[in-house]
Amino acid sequence: MRCRQTGSLFIRRDIAIRRRQLASNSNVSKYRFDRGGADHCRRSPGVLRVPATRSSRHRKYCGGYCYLNNNSLAAQSLLDEGAARVAILDVDYHHGNGTQSIFYERDDVLTISLHADPKVEYPFFLGYADEPGSGQGHGFNVNYPLPFGTAWDSYRGALADALDKVRKFSPDALVVALGLDTFAGDPTTFFEITTDDFSRMGAAISSLELPTLVVLEGGYSVDWIGENTVKFLGGLESG
């Protein structure tokens, strides 16, 4: 099947994806959270289409081409498998409003999103800096709305601050929602991240030395999505 908007290939979703299957099939869940140092960290990519972070816990709500929230499913599965805390780092161009909504009142999952400012970009109604979570989850949701034209020089500062928050949270595992639509050549977006910047991004995230599951999200420059993915994963491995 092909996405009508972009022509990119994606997998049919008529077969249910169960939470435990998503995590148990990855190296991250098999890691069993033995945080014995960098040499023990495992990283696993999940190449799933269509993207996911804008589908919510509310059964009637799907948005931004998203139907199943793979990142949230993975995070919950990791908790079910024994993790005490999981962090979700969303670097997709659009705010992950679905992910935020799912965990907004919880303190066992830290949700962080770097994205285009919702004042001028989808989803418009969520993704602002003054949304810290509520109830038990207060302080466990962090948004970094960024202006059109954001390039690596300014993006890396927000990413560094986000990674510091992950370190302070001290999760047992990290889920990265890898949106490649921040790419300067993406036909649908307005950031200026280059192919080499994705390598830098991966290396920065690698510095956390956490077991990490990378889930592919947005990215609509069909000619470049493969190279950008490889660059990110290469940086993650070598960082």
The residues spanned by each domain of the chain are 19-32+39-238
Per-residue confidence band for 24, with pLDDT thresholds at 50, 70 and 90: very low
Class of domain 19-32+39-238: alpha beta
Specify the pTM. 0.81
* Beta-strand relationship, 173-178 and 141-146: unpaired
**Separate counts of helices (H) and strands (E) for the chain:** 7, 6
Could you give the angle at which helices 152-169 and 195-206 cross, rounded to 10 degrees? 20
What's the rounded Cα separation, in Å, for the pair 206 and 176? 11
* 63: helix, strand or coil: coil
pLDDT at 2: 31
25 pLDDT above the threshold of 70: no
Q: Report residue 85: phi and psi, to 5°.
A: -145, 145
The gap between the terminal CA atoms of the chain, to the nearest Å, is 36
Share of the chain above pLDDT 90, in %: 67
Cα gap 140→111, rounded to integer Å = 6
Asked whether the predicted pLDDT for residue 93 surpasses 60, the reply is yes
